[in-house]
Structure 1
Amino acid sequence: MSKKTLVIGASLKEERYSNRAIQKLRAHQIDTVAIGLRKGIVADVNIDVEKKEYQNIDTVTLYLNPKRQEEYYNYIIDLKPNRVIFNPGTENFEFLKMLKNNNIESEIACTLVLLGTNQY
């Protein structure tokens, strides 16, 4: 079963964890969409620079520091994902509380580790 995932903070740079996550998500055949600062393609995923109205998002995985997340609070809540993953360095207790208040599951985890251990 595919858990359509939105990667926020996607990078075209291969050494970035967001880039590695996109590649690993696609290797696991998970439908993936992404938003980043620059347009481009990672694996077979187009990186958008605008907040699009994606449908049926199961998981949002964050690669933005807490301050940069603020502009995405309402956007992510409005997408109504089943969960939001806060990767290392993105922990944000203000946003965690907002997600909980909107009945959206969240976890502080590493997408790469979850995929690598079949816990995604």
Structure 2
Amino acid sequence: MVQQMKDLGFNRAALPYNVLFNLNYKSGNHEKINSLVQEMDEKGICYDRFTYGIWLSACVVDSNMTGITDILTRIASDSEVVFDWLLTCYVAAKGYIKSGPMDKSLARLEMSH
């Protein structure tokens, strides 16, 4: 399926990657999401709010604090995408709560309002 998308030229937009992100997220194959992120970076494909959202959710499930922090940093510097900061900060705080650093959880929740 991925090769067919590439052959048809659909691999230059975020949408096909978002579908693959979601597929891998739901199947628990979160490592593949990181590979897709790297591929998007290499090809200069811009993320959208769905890309960030699925990627952030996968990091939360995996308790990947470095990933959560990196994604929030990217989101904050991405002027092309309009975010639902309430939801984004809630998801990030949930990840921090899950792994233990309450100070980061509280900071993320405070950012949301």
So what's the TM-score if we normalise by structure 1? 0.34
Q: Which has the higher contact order (CA 8 A, sep 6+)?
A: 1
Question: Who wins on radius of gyration, i.e. which is larger?
Answer: 2
The two structures have a TM-score, normalised by structure 2, of: 0.35
More helix by share: 2
Q: Which has the higher strand share?
A: 1
